[in-house]
Structure 1
Amino acid sequence: MKVAILGTRGIPNHYGGFEQCAEYLALGLVKKGFDVIVYNSHNHPYQEKEWNNVKIVHCYDPEDKIGTAGQFIYDLNCILDVRKQQCDVILQLGYTSSSVWGKLMPKNSVVTTNMDGLEWKRTKYSSKVKKFLRWAEKLGVKYSDHLISDSIGIQNYLKDKYQKDSTFIAYGATLFEKPNIEQLKPYGLSPYLYDMLIARLEPENSIETILDGVVLANLQRPFLVVGKHNTKYGAFLKEKYSLQPQIQFVGGIYDIEVLNNLRYYSNLYFHGHTVGGTNPSLLEAMASNSLICANDNPFNRYILEDDAIYFNEATEVKQHLERVVCQEPVYQLKTKNNADKIVNIYDWNIIVDQYAQHLEAVEAKFNRFK
């Protein structure tokens, strides 16, 4: 079966969650005998036409020159190219800047779309942008033959809003089992004597609430903020907390070994995401044996259940920072339970199997009704 993966900046991952998903899926599907194409931005660091037996197609992407509008041009270029590829199934990861071109999808291929989270809920967007995102979501549903939800909450939403069934397939992770304390040295850290968060620095990820709590706690131990900060909001955050030496903005880190070790040796790992489904960074924290302090919302509760501590306000963040020692038995049990979830529910091998079954099922259904 020939499968094309669209909707990411490309592989190997140099950006974020969907790129990581595309990387694991492409590798796993190739091992199962699928013929896989992944679309990459023309300026992706990896410039070869093949990567670990995955075919790479580079398409022109002017996002670095014209901003967000460039994403729409890139997605259009990917769709125009995939029309020539004679694929059995096109797997779209997201819809935000591609669904406006949905009419151009090839009619001889099945289109299945991972609908991601509820993008229009993100607080960074203006009312006009939110209105557009609702329309784009509607088009994403309209021009897809099948839908994938990465959380039960998203699955229920699609059913209620559009009367559309979707296949639930969570995001994946791989249990981290080989910690290396040497990875802490470049950051001047000592095991379990620092706290951290990893996120895109955006308002809906509770960054200010968490950092306000760090300020209130007024502890001397470092607090790492991992995420790209050369943005308008990033500049605001760095200015707001410039007099707090314990808060360290270290930028984006994309080396999974470094990230895993930073998470593994942290005292408290904060997950402030309030929008979306099965968030990649949350599963990776669970896989890294992090003790997680999460924003208290249904998406996070569904995955973590009672195996985390929760916050809504900065005062709660302060209290957790002052009181919680991750190596105490009650907290060690939570991290063990989360690691068991990774092995039994969210392991990438399980997720790849579920995607493979889905792709085979939708392709077979398509052929039956030709």
Structure 2
Amino acid sequence: MGTHGVPANYGGFETAAENVAIFLRDHGWRVVVYCQERGRGPLRTDTWNGIERVLIPIDREGWLATSEFDARSIRHAIRHRDVCLTFGYNTAVFNIVQRVLRIPNVINMDGIEWSRARWGKLRQAILWTNEKIAGVVGDHLIADHPTIETYLAKRVNRRKLSTITYGAHPITQAPDEPVLALGLAPGKYLTLICRPIPENSILELVQGFSAERRGYELAILGTYTPETDPYHRAVVDAAGPEVRFLGSVYDPEQVASLRFHSAGYLHGHTVGGTNPSLVEAMAAGNAIVAHDNEYNRWVADGGALYFRSAADAADRIGDLLTNPTVRWRLGEASRARHRSEFTWERVAGQYMELLGRFQPAGTTTPDMVSNGPAEENAP
């Protein structure tokens, strides 16, 4: 629960939900995933790749939509009387229901979401409150990074905490046609893929890249609206002639090709835990230039050069692009780090082991086909 559902086409939580669900399915579990869709009316059920889906139509936007979806998901899920896996604590107040009914609920706590300045004071207060509630009502809490676990340990009993990261499938080959179709030359560009907000250091990276002619292009993915967003305007104004704004690219195969054929990846995230985009870059064997903080250093380790300012970024980008040996070394270190910590087999296996601890006594994992999908009005 807590994601937009499967198949994943929204973000990191959805990708995690899909891969964990598939892994559990392959190991004999009956898996039910709650999926949010636009519209009105009663929920409906179907199957996707052997996974039960409960599709809940929501005719709202933003936080109101999330709240209604989570409430309806919980109301349906408690009828299973089985272990729940909830991604995110934004509406943890609703999870009091599972606690009261003694239905085990494992909660992935994401990053320190309430600390993000982009939410504003009111939403920060709501998120902070729900984080506290999740720490009380959750049977076990998942942190996606050791630093997040350390933070949570100051608020809850450490025995109810585990660190389980995000995963990515290794990219060992990819067609170059999607890259050529975008007007890029394989091996002659860097990628920058993230939400265009200040905490992701996009301005500093664009300024650093544009400080001199590189002989490479910088391919930036994401939706930029300089006409209405001052930060977007600053980024666009700072961009030199070798910077390309490609807009949003959602097709996974196209993104995989862009990563695989790039000379390196720029990662400016300053907050949060394990970032899925960074893990995916490592899975593609990218040499990385990353913002210097404890989150990125633990994830990328020896696969990155680190910066703190636009001037630092300019130097590190120069080191990356002018030295093929450095690029090769960083790329090999990225792949090795991915293999050791961030494969979906490892990550989903950790989820399965943890969820197994909370299976109610005497329960089994019946075959979905013989039992059929659960209806909203089932007893």
| TM-score for the superposition, normalised by structure 2 | 0.87
- Mark the CA change 1:279 to 1:239 in structure 2 (over 3 Å): closer, same or farther: closer
Match of residue 43 from structure 1: 38
Distance 1:247 1:276 in 2: 27
Q: Take 1:233 and 1:344, find their aligned partners in 2: how far apart are those partners?
A: 43
How many Å apart are 1:10 and its aligned residue?
1.1
CA positional deviation for 1:218: 4.8
SS in 2 for 1:59: strand
Change (3 A) 1:339 1:232: farther
Residue 102 of structure 1 is aligned with which of 95, 103, 117?
A: 95
| SS across alignment from 1:324 | helix
Distance 1:58 1:113 in 2: 21
Residue 267 of structure 1 contacts residue 326 of structure 1 at CA under 8 Å; is this kept in 2?
no
CA distance in 2, matches of 1:326, 1:363: 54
Moved more, 109-118 or 157-166: 157-166
Work out which of the residue numbers 171, 178, 190 in structure 1 matches 2:173.
Answer: 178
Q: CA deviation at 1:256?
A: 2.3
1:60 pairs with 53, 57, 61, which one? 57
Identical residues among aligned pairs (%): 30
In the alignment, the residues of structure 2 paired with residue 324 and residue 138 of structure 1 have an alpha-carbon distance, to the nearest angstrom, of 43
CA distance 1:295–1:263, shift in 2 (3 Å): same
Is residue 2:352 matched to residue 1:359? no
> In the TM superposition, what is the alpha-carbon distance from 1:82 to its structure 2 partner?
1.2
Aligned equivalent of 1:29: 24
Q: Is the 8 A contact 1:146 1:362 kept in 2?
A: no
Q: What is the one-letter code of the residue matched to 1:176? A: I
Distance between the aligned counterparts of 2:116 and 2:228, measured in 1? 14
- In 1, Cα distance between equivalents of 2:355 and 2:61: 35
Deviation at 1:173, TM superposition (A): 1.3
CA distance in structure 2 between the aligned counterparts of 1:231 and 1:111, rounded to whole angstroms: 43
> Aligned residue for 1:154?
148
Letter of the 1:315 partner, please give it.
Answer: A
The range that moved more, 136-145 or 244-253, is 244-253
Change (3 A) 1:136 1:160: same
State yes or no: 1:74 paired with 2:69: yes
Please state whether the residue corresponding to 2:105 is helix, strand or coil.
Answer: strand
| Counterpart for residue 194 of structure 2 | 199
Please list the CA deviations of residues 168-220 of structure 1 after superposition, one character each: whole Å capped at 9, or x if unmatched: 21111111112222221121111221122111122211122212223323546
Per the TM alignment, residue 90 of structure 1 is displaced from its structure 2 partner at its CA by 0.3
Counterpart-to-counterpart distance in 1, 2:81 and 2:22: 17
Identify the residue that residue 368 of structure 2 maps to in structure 1.
none
User: C-alpha offsets along residues 132-179 of structure 1, whole Å, 9 cap, x if unaligned?
Assistant: 221111011112111111111111111123334301211111111122
Q: Give me the whole-angstrom Cα distance separating, in 2, the residues matched to 1:270 and 1:295.
A: 9
Q: Confirm or deny that 1:136 pairs with 2:133.
A: no
- Rate the CA distance shift 1:248–1:61 in 2: closer, same or farther, 3 A: farther
Matched residue, 1:344: 340
Alignment equivalent of 1:279, drawn from 253, 275, 279? 275
Normalization by structure 1: what TM-score? 0.88
How many residue pairs get matched?
A: 356
TM-fit CA distance, 1:294: 0.5
On the 8 A contact 2:202/2:235 being kept in 1, the answer is: no
2:92–2:133 Cα contact (<8 Å) kept: yes
The question of whether the paired residues in 2 share the 8 Å contact of 1:174 and 1:342 is answered with no
Distance apart, 1:272 and its partner CA: 1.0
| Equivalent residues of 2:83, 2:360 under 8 A apart | no
- Verify: 1:311 aligned to 2:279, yes or no: no
Contact 1:113-1:148 at 8 Å conserved across structures = yes
Counterpart in 2 of 1:3? none
Q: Which residue number corresponds to residue 252 of structure 1?
A: 248
Deviates more, 1:223-232 or 1:100-109: 223-232
SS at match of 1:126: helix
Residues 217 and 322 in structure 1, CA contact (< 8 A), matched pair in contact too: no
Per-residue Cα deviation, 1:221-255 (whole angstroms, up to 9, x for no partner): 42211124469986741575157443322233232
- Per mean C-alpha deviation after superposition, the further-off stretch among 323-332 and 128-137 is 323-332
Q: Is the 8 A contact 1:202 1:233 kept in 2?
A: no
- Choose 348-357 or 13-22, whichever is displaced more: 348-357
Distance in 2, matches of 1:296 and 1:321, equals 14
Q: 1:327 to 1:17 in 2, by over 3 A?
A: farther
Q: Deviations over 1:313-363 (max 9, x none)?
A: 111222233342277223312211221222232111111111111111122
Q: Secondary structure in 2 aligned to 1:40?
A: strand
Aligned-partner residue type, residue 131 of structure 1: A
Counterpart CA distance in 1 for 2:213 and 2:330 is 26
Where do 5+ consecutive residues of structure 2 fail to align? 364-379
Q: What pairs with 1:204-219 in structure 2 (closer than 5 Å)?
A: 204-219=199-214
More off after superposition, 108-117 vs 24-33: 108-117
Are 2:189 and 2:217, in contact at CA under 8 Å, matched by a contact in 1? yes
Q: Which moved more, 1:287-296 or 1:206-215?
A: 206-215
Cα–Cα, structure 1 residues 328 and 214, in superposed 2: closer, same or farther, change >3 Å? closer
Q: Which residue of 1 aligns with 2:13?
A: 18
